[in-house]
Structure 1
Amino acid sequence: MRLAFVTPRYGAEILGGAETQVRDYAERLAAAGHDVEALTTCAVDHHTWRNALPPGESVATGVRVRRFAVTRPRDHALAARQQPVLDAGLCLGPEGERAWVENTGVSEPLLEAIAATAPRVDALLFAPYLFASTVLGAAVRPDRSLVIPCLHDEAYARFAPVQAALRGAAGLILNTEAERDLAARLLGELPPNRVVGEGFEPAAAVDGEGFRRRHRLDRDALAYAGRRERGKNYHLVLEYVTLYSRALSRRGPVRLLAMGGGPLQPPESARPLVCDLGFVGHGEMLDALAASLASVQLSRMESFSRVLMEGWLAGTPAIVDAGCPVTREHCAQSGGGVWVGDAEEFAEVVDRLRADPELRGRMVDAGRRYVARRYNWTAVLGRLEAAVRELVGN
């Protein structure tokens, strides 16, 4: 097949679940013999949309990458006016929603390239759902457009331009049944769709004990990997770990291994408990997970959650938020994790895991089997190839 992925940011240096998923899909399909290219902007930071990379063509891991300049600079004053309205649960109105989308890295040359590319490819694949490259780009040739939405239950998913793009596409490629349920609630009647998910290799050798020695960990630890922002409920992770360590624990305090970056800093009461690792390489992340009692992911804004899979492969069970259908679905179907609704339930789970190594081991084994069975690359690539052929009629 001849395929073109369209994403606002592309490359190994780009952090983000959707961006990683697109790159993995593109590289795996290219390695399988498909003709694959990626159309993207010159931006790296989705908060500024500044053109940080030069326009032009390159080849990255078998994928032809074409970059185009962002031509509408970020209007920071508009963003500052609109975000408090959304945070308050209010609507922007039709003009405001359109303005929000058009403030997310519009590139006229990219839209022109989409139109020129569409006749010579079997499908255009857009991700994620909320940015101009998808909302405006998928409307250029909807009959050739498949959207990989990576959908979250958030205000942007209710914008009229966003929903029009999703409804108008030739099809949707979804990550989980829970994401499909969310799409159905938001959109009503869904366009043709398939659930594919993300792929993983078996974990390379991990060294949890070596990590503990290198970082002089002398107590049980919990791991958090991801963006440190309220949208990912990182503040709740800090709150639960602090309450557990200061008041609720029956077995003493724990450390929090915090990986990733973001604006949210721990309050004074939590700082002694946090081991701030910042941005780490993939191998170091796996070692940190292996060194931990559990991976704590309390985000409700997930369409898949790579870090759950990485944790299971590294030998770590998961603690997730009961209000996140996606991560709860993974834990229920795998047996590799537990969902909690408040700090007291969190404390009970952590105490139980600390007291029962055999239970922890059974959860890890269940999680690993789940990833190996459902999300090995052979299975995922087969589902992806079938989805593209079926949804665009090839």
Structure 2
Amino acid sequence: MKIAFVVQRYGQDIVGGAEYFTRLVAERMRQYHEIEILTTCAADYHFWKNEYPEGLDILNGVRIHRFRNAAKRNPNKHTKIQETVYYSAHTVNDELSWINEQGPNCPELVQYISHNRDNYDCFVFFTFRYYPTYYGIKEVTNKSLVVPFAENDPALDLTTTKEIFERANGIIYCTPEEKKLVERKVGISKGKASDIAGCGIEVPKSILRTENEELQNKQYVLYIGRIEGSKGCYQLFEYYQRLLKEFPDIPTLVLAGLDAIEIPKHDKIKYLGFISEEEKYSLLGGAQFLIMPSPYESLSLVTLEAMASGTAVLVNGECDVLKGHCLRSNAGLWYQNYEEFRECFRFLCSNDHLRSKIEDNGRKYVKKNYSWEVIEKKYLQLFGLFDQSQKS
């Protein structure tokens, strides 16, 4: 089968989030089918500026078609339109304006899908909320799957969002919580094909201790990901600094990833910037636990990577997905206010024996639910919906 993965950005240097997820799945599934990527020239998701060369490319054996965006996002205009469609009475035309400004505004990509619909057996659209998914899925309705990456925000209430899920031939959810959320907010036609898959997690067989001299022989807790307000980082900094005032000897807070806000200056807050895959697992292996403060997640790869590495997690209990991982795995704790954050933080730091049990639970949870063997089987079953050789 020849299958197109449609995603807003794609590249070796795009780490984390739906785009990284898409690349992992594409590189894994190419052993079974011919996988091609249909994407834009954007590298940055704030403005969708064309940075990658347009045309054909190959990354790790996967063929990529990149198309130039027709316009960059105007943040002020986008925010104004979003406020209208999220929180005020509006029309479908207002929603279309939001989609166009949300971007990446790439009519050439949609045109390619329309002209080449017969050259692919299936189109898989990754992330429901962007321009390529809304317009692209209209061109290939009966050949489409959508991997929504849905979070509990007003975008799920839009008429245009309901159109996407109605047109899709099947849905690939990341977690039970995401499936429940979409079914409650959008309403899914009875009998529509779907499964809960997510992404495979593969921990390196040998993990070296971190080479960061400042962290060797030092206790630390870890945050990995985009450092921004929407990821709960302002609250994390507030809670951690309050805890420091009460208990100055708590472990150092180490952060890695893109810094989009100002990180507080403090001797016990260390920012490492971007890190390699090898360093990520070294840091996870040495951490007391991972902190995931985000209130909005549809899967959270780094939470699963921590569990697979035998590292406990402390997560924001306002996020049903993160709390669900902890409940099903018995591999982490969650908080919903400062007092709970303080008690969970100190509990994980002071109970080595229990933390060891938690860590073992995490490994078992990921192996059972997020090994590549499990994920590949689910994707293959859904791809089978479009396999004409099986139907003849």
Q: Same fold (TM over 0.5)?
A: yes
Is contact 1:7-1:128 (8 Å) kept? yes
d(CA) in 2 for partners of 1:158 and 1:316?
A: 36
**Which consecutive unaligned segments of at least 5 residues does structure 2 have?**
none
1:129 to 1:350, Cα distance in 2 relative to 1, 3 A: same
Residue aligned with 1:139, SS: helix
> Which of 262, 284, 295 is matched with 2:259 structurally?
262
CA contact (8 A) 1:203 1:313 kept: no
Q: Is the 8 A contact 2:221 2:291 kept in 1?
A: yes
Deviations 1:347-391 (A, max 9, x none): 112222222111111111110111112111111101111022237
Q: Which amino acid aligns with 1:95?
A: N
Residue in 1 that maps onto 2:250 = 253
2:99 to 96, 101, 111: 101
Q: For 2:16 and 2:310, locate their aligned partners in 1 and report how far apart those are by CA, in whole Å.
A: 23
CA offset at residue 65 of structure 1?
0.6
Q: Distance in 1 between matches of 2:155 and 2:375?
A: 28
Partner of 1:142: 141
Give how far 1:178 is off. 0.7
Q: CA RMSD in A?
A: 2.1
Percent identity over the alignment?
27
Unaligned runs of 5+ in 1: none
Report the counterpart of residue 343 of structure 2 in structure 1.
348
Letter matched to residue 94 of structure 2: G
Aligned letter for 1:207? L
Q: Distance in 1 between matches of 2:285 and 2:88?
A: 42
Residues 318 and 96 (structure 1), Cα distance of their counterparts in 2 relative to 1, 3 Å cut: same
Distance in 2 between residues matched to 1:78 and 1:290, nearest whole Å: 44
1:275 aligns with 2:278: no
> Structure 2: how far apart are the matches of 1:92 and 1:245?
47
Q: Which residue of 2 aligns with 1:322?
A: 317
Equivalenced residue count is 386
TM-score normalised over the length of structure 1:
0.92
SS in 1 for 2:272: strand
Offset of 1:90 from its aligned partner? 4.6
Q: Could you say if the C-alpha distance between residues 27 and 219 of structure 1 is closer, same or farther in structure 2, counting changes exceeding 3 Å?
A: closer
**Which region of structure 1 is more displaced relative to structure 2, 15-24 or 43-52?**
15-24
Q: 1:28 to 1:293 in 2, by over 3 A?
A: same
Distance in 2 (CA, whole Å) between partners of 1:296 and 1:289 is 11
Alpha-carbon shift at residue 230 of structure 1 (Å): 1.6
Cα offsets for 1:130-176 (capped at 9, x unmatched) = 11011111111111111111111112222221221122211111111
Distance 1:83 1:36 in 2: 34
8 Å contact 2:85–2:94 — kept in the other structure?
no
Q: Which amino acid aligns with 2:140?
A: R
Is the 2:123–2:143 Cα contact (8 Å) retained in structure 1?
Answer: yes
Q: Is the 8 A contact 1:246 1:253 kept in 2?
A: no
Alignment check: 8 A CA contact 2:85 2:95 kept: no
Larger displacement relative to structure 2 (119-128 or 347-356):
347-356
Letter in structure 1 aligned against 2:146: V
Cross-structure match for 1:205 = 206
